[in-house]
Amino acid sequence: MIVIKFIILILIFWTSTQIGMKIANKYVVRANNLKQMKKAIKILEAKITYTYGMLPDLFLEISEKINGPVGIVFRKAGLKMEVEFAGEAWENSIDECDSFTREDKDALKSLGKLLGSTDINGQLKQLNLVNCFLDEQIKEATLLKDKNTTLYRKLGVIVGLGIMIVLI
């Protein structure tokens, strides 16, 4: 009976620790995804400036270079641009991504308003504006990550230990 109780206590501790780690990981993932998006937008800016390629082709090319959710967003947008307007395809792809906050999505969607509907200079100015916003969001996400990852990791361990103490 004591062995079963000990195993249950260890499982409770492990579960609460894992929950804390999972919550902390959300902050790390958001910061990394914002950095990946900034990198992808810089690549898009360079491609628009120097290659004058078609947007669907550029988006698919970027999706091959960028991993994770950001690459998926660019891939979906590139594929959707074959049947939809560029701005609509971009906005729909951003909406389907769960890796960004509402504020991140709103700023990234603003790129879609001018995407494919203005000249190269207008698109480059919009990309530059989105890059500036991403810089601010990356700073915020990094601060939140630094503050909250250790908080939630320690909280998971402490709650697990607290439950173990109460059940002993």
Written as tens digits, the pLDDT of the chain (168 aa) is 788 988 999 999 999 999 999 999 999 999 999 999 999 989 888 888 888 778 888 888 998 988 888 999 889 988 888 888 878 888 888 888 888 888 888 888 877 777 766 677 777 788 888 888 888 889 999 999 999 999 999 999 999 999 988 987
pTM of the model: 0.83
Residue 153: the pLDDT is: 93
Residue 10: the pLDDT is: 93
Residue 156: the pLDDT is: 93
Residue 116: the pLDDT is: 65
Alpha carbon of 75 to those of 24, 46, 59, 120: distances in Å?
A: 28, 18, 6, 21
For 115, the enclosing helix (H) or strand (E) is none
Domain-by-domain residue ranges, the chain?
Answer: 2-167
Residue 117: the pLDDT is: 65
Nearest-angstrom CA–CA distance, 82 and 71: 18
Residue 19: the pLDDT is: 95
- Length of the chain, in residues: 168
User: What is the 8-class DSSP label of residue 109?
Assistant: H
The amino acid at residue 85 is: F
